[in-house]
Structure formats: structure tokens, C-alpha cells
Amino acid sequence: MDVDAPPIIPLEIRRPTGTYRLSDFDIHRTLGTGSFGRVHLVRSKHNLRFYAIKVLSKEKIVRMKQVSHTRNEQMMLQAVQHPFIINLWGTFQDSTNLYMVMDFVPGGELFTLLRRSNRFPDPVAKFYAAEVALALNYLHNLDIIYRDLKPENILLNFDGHIKIADFGFAKYCNNTAWTLCGTPDYLAPEIIGNARYNKSVDWYALGVLIYEMLSGLPPFHEPDASPVVLYEKIAQGPTCIRWPAFNTNATDLILKFMERDPSKRYGNLRHGAGDVFAHPWFREVDWERLKNREITAPYLPRISGAGDASAFEKYPEDNIATAAYGVSSADEFGDMFPDFEYTSHGL
């Protein structure tokens, strides 16, 4: 659904973005695929650094009514600069596609590590949860609601610290929102109830994430069940969760995050994120050292060198699609993405 109005966002652009064109890069391989296109590992011909370029089909974005989400993603990423959030270096467009030049984060998805590990020991889950909490607090202080927290959107950098990626559902929100969007297992009850909601839906999702990291699956997960069954359980709340033998402080924090009533939810009370940082489960976390990446990560990705993308799944390369990148043709959608620089000429 793309019912939010076109973005008018009073956010300061914090990141100076460069001017790029496709001819600045050599495309190496596909890192991921999605509804609108692909993410490629590329190497700059100028500074020889590796980047990830997200290529999005304008025609598909328009057809699936995702124009404002796409523009929001670009604006949000230009407005943020945080050690645990992916960097957007620049954007451009040609006749058929939009291009977003971002960090290449070589450690792959937290999801992959979690599936390989089955579940994380308490200190490991706490490390990743603490870094996510710092990133969410930063976004919320800018009045940005993230709305898509899940292990697939948390990438691991070469040093094992996180980078939150995929801001397609992020939105400037200084009050409330009401669009139904996100990943079913991670949706707060007020979202599925079509009620107005605020930034506290991100804290709810962090509760789901902590549970999934500690147990291996989200709390309401039902294999092969319809979303209706899942939504009924979410609406019912944590009373129908089966609890493994977690650390009691972890269970307490999950319950405080997954509180059905947003006005009683941790992160949304009078002290805001202060309550989260002061919770007993995080007692031994040195938040300042963590933010400065001075604490060694529990898992260091095995990376053979710059440009090693072995942590990412292998995808069949669509050479026909990449051959069409940058080809000049009629463009009926160019004016719908005014913030993406037009560099189709002289590619």
C-alpha cells in the first residue's frame, strides 16, 4: 500500500552525496533480488572501493504504487549518519531504472548467521539488540519511524558490528502514522488493527527480534499458517507465546517491548529510550563504548579481502537486464523521482 502522501520532510540532509553514473562502476555480481530489481556488488573505477548498488525498475515501482516509499527511502538515508546504519553515497536515474549507491556490507545478513547458529546465546543476542536499540533511538530522535526491523535487514560489517539496511518503509513521523506495512511476524497489534500508531512499533519489533534471536523463531510463528491466524495471535498478545528457558531479564524486556497497549510499552514511556538502556538485561552494556564500536563483536565474518561477497547467496546473473542498464529510451516516469539525479546522457 502506498497511501502516505508524497513526502514533505523537514529533515536536514546530513550526508553530502556525490554525483555518480553507471560508467563509474564495474558490476561484479548480484547480492540480492527483490520485487523491483537487484542489488549488485560493484567496484568504483575511481577510488577502487566496493559498493552495493540497488537498481530499481521505475515501471515496477509505479505499477506497485511504491513511489512515495522509494522517495522516502532516499530522503531518510540522506538524512541519517550513524555507525549502525547503512550509508547512502548517492543516487541517480536513467530512462528505466533508479540507482542507489550504498555501502557494501560484506558480512551478510544477521538472518543467515542466526539460521546457521539455530539460536544465539544470551550475550550474543544482547550485543545485537543493544546496537539495534542505539540505531532506533537515533532514528526516533530525528522523528523517523523505521517499520521494518527483522534479521534480514540487519547486515554485519567486516568488524562484526551491525548496519541496518532497507529503509523502504521508513517514514518521517513526528506524531502518528497509519499505513499497514512491515513484515507480518514483526507487526505490532495496533498496526494490524488498522489503528494509528507511533514510533513505539519499532520497540515492539525489537522485542520480537530478541525473542527470535534467543529461540530461533519469532514468538508467534506458525509454519504454513495463514496470516489471519498469525494476526489473531498478535492481537491476543504475549499470553499465547510459548517461552523457552530464557534469562529472566530477557523475558521481562521482551514482554515490556511487546506490551499490547502502546502507552505502556517500553521505549514509549516518560523516559523514552532511557528505560530501554537502563533495563537490567542491558546492565553490563557500556553504551558509549558500544556506539564507538570499541567492544569486540561476538562473531567476526570470515572475509578474505575487499569485495569478498561469499556471505551472500549466489543468484543467477540476469545479463539481459544488466545490459539494459543505462540504455537511453522513452521515459514516462522520470518526473516522478525528482531527487534522483538524471545521468542517462553520457553514461
In angstroms, how far is the first alpha carbon of the chain from the final one? 34
54 belongs to an annotated ligand binding site: yes
Given a cut of 50, whether residue 143 has pLDDT beyond it is: yes
Q: What is the pLDDT of residue 14?
A: 63
Q: Which residues of 69-92 are buried (b: 16+ CB within 10 A; e: fewer)?
A: bbbbbbbbbbbbebbbbbbbbbbb
Instruction: Give the chain's mean pLDDT.
Output: 91
* pLDDT tens-digit series, residues 235-288: 999 998 999 999 999 999 999 999 999 999 999 999 999 999 999 999 999 999
pLDDT of residue 68: 87
For residues 20-45, give the mean pLDDT: 94
What does the pLDDT read at residue 31?
Answer: 95
Measure the CA–CA gap between 281 and 94, rounded to whole angstroms: 49
The closest alpha carbon to 329, from 18, 58, 24, belongs to 58
Domains, in order of start, for the chain: 22-106+304-335 (3.30.200.20), 110-291 (1.10.510.10)
pLDDT digits (tens, 9 = 90+) for 85-121: 999 999 999 999 999 999 999 999 999 999 999 999 9
Compute the CA torsion angle 18, 22, 26, 27 (nearest 10 deg). 110
Q: What is the per-residue pLDDT for 9? A: 56
pLDDT higher than threshold 60 for residue 1: no
Residue 344: what pLDDT? 53
Beta carbons within 10 angstroms of residue 63's beta carbon: 11
**Residue the block writes with cell 532516499:** 74
What stretch of H or E contains 97? strand 97-103
Q: pLDDT tens across 151-200, in order?
A: 999 999 999 999 999 998 898 887 777 676 778 999 999 999 988 999 99
- Report for 208-212, 312-316, 341-345: range of highest mean pLDDT: 208-212
The whole-number average pLDDT for the span 58-87 is 93
pLDDT at residue 308 tops 80: yes
Residues 291-313, mean pLDDT to the nearest whole number: 95
Told to judge if 26 belongs to the known catalytic residues of this protein, a careful annotator would answer no
pLDDT at position 329, please? 85
Q: What 3-state DSSP class applies to 7?
A: coil
- pLDDT given at position 343: 75
The pLDDT value recorded for residue 16 is 65
Considering the candidates 24, 103, 148, 185, report the single residue annotated as catalytic.
148
Q: Is the pLDDT of residue 211 over 50?
A: yes
Name the percent of the chain lying above pLDDT 70: 93
Res. 319: pLDDT tops 90: no
